[in-house]
Structures are given as C-alpha cells and as structure tokens.
Structure 1
Amino acid sequence: FVNGTCSCSDRYRGKLCQLDNPCNDYCQNNGLCTVVCTDTSCDTPKCTCLNGYSDNQCSTVITDACQSNPCGAN
C-alpha cells in the first residue's frame, strides 16, 4: 500500500491486486507482454518478440535459411 493505492507484485494486477496477471511468466526470450482487452475482459496476453524469435510466446527461434549460404554467390 503506497500513497493510498496498492502496489501489486508481478503476479497480480487490479486496483486491489485481486486479479491474476496473465502476463506473468508468459512470454519467453525477453518478449514484451501486454494484456489485450475486449468489451468483456482484459485477460488475454500478447507477446511482442525480439528479433530472432516468433510464435505466440516467443519460444520459436527463427533460423536464417541463408545463414549456411546454400545459394553460393547467387
């Protein structure tokens, strides 16, 4: 409780820290998690992945198909 408001740990959110935080430990590989809100709820996590990672939780490493130089100089 700080200055009349609650200070929630990373696991919780809400005015009184009464809601679970859907972003807690959701994104992998340092992805940035935001909570997506609809007309009825605010509980859907969405990751923005760093370069080199993809999928809904940033857990898939993107491999560069050209890294091994299969095309030579072409």
Structure 2
Amino acid sequence: MNSLKALLIVTLMTASFAAMAEGGGDTVTAKMEAARMTAMTSHQQSESATAAATASNQNASTSDASRSN
C-alpha cells in the first residue's frame, strides 16, 4: 500500500512538472493576456457606440422639443 502511494505521488508530480515545463506557464499567461486585451477592446468599442447612440438620441429629442413649440 505504501509503495502504491509513493508511485501515485511520483506519477502526479511528474505529470504536473511536465505540464509546466518548457514555458508552459508562460504560454498560459500569454493566452490569458491576449484574451484580456480582446475583451477590453470589445468593451471599449461597445461603450463608445453606446455613448454615440445616446448623444444622437439626446440631440434628436432636443430638436423635436424645439419643433413642437
């Protein structure tokens, strides 16, 4: 039983080291950074589109109010 536990521990440690070897952590970090930049760009574009739509709606409502008087 003890040798089975030791073998299991060695196997798990080897698998975790192999996953992170040769810059595996750097690859994951780079992917996360790229995904964050994509999300931030998308968010900024949607914010600017919303702001432009709001401004045009406010201008249209101001024009409508002045025409009705």
When the two structures are superposed, what TM-score results if normalisation uses the length of structure 1? 0.32
Structure number with higher helix proportion: 2
TM-score by length of 2: 0.33
Structure number with the bigger relative contact order (C-alpha 8 A, sep ≥ 6) is 1
1 or 2, which has the higher strand percentage? 1
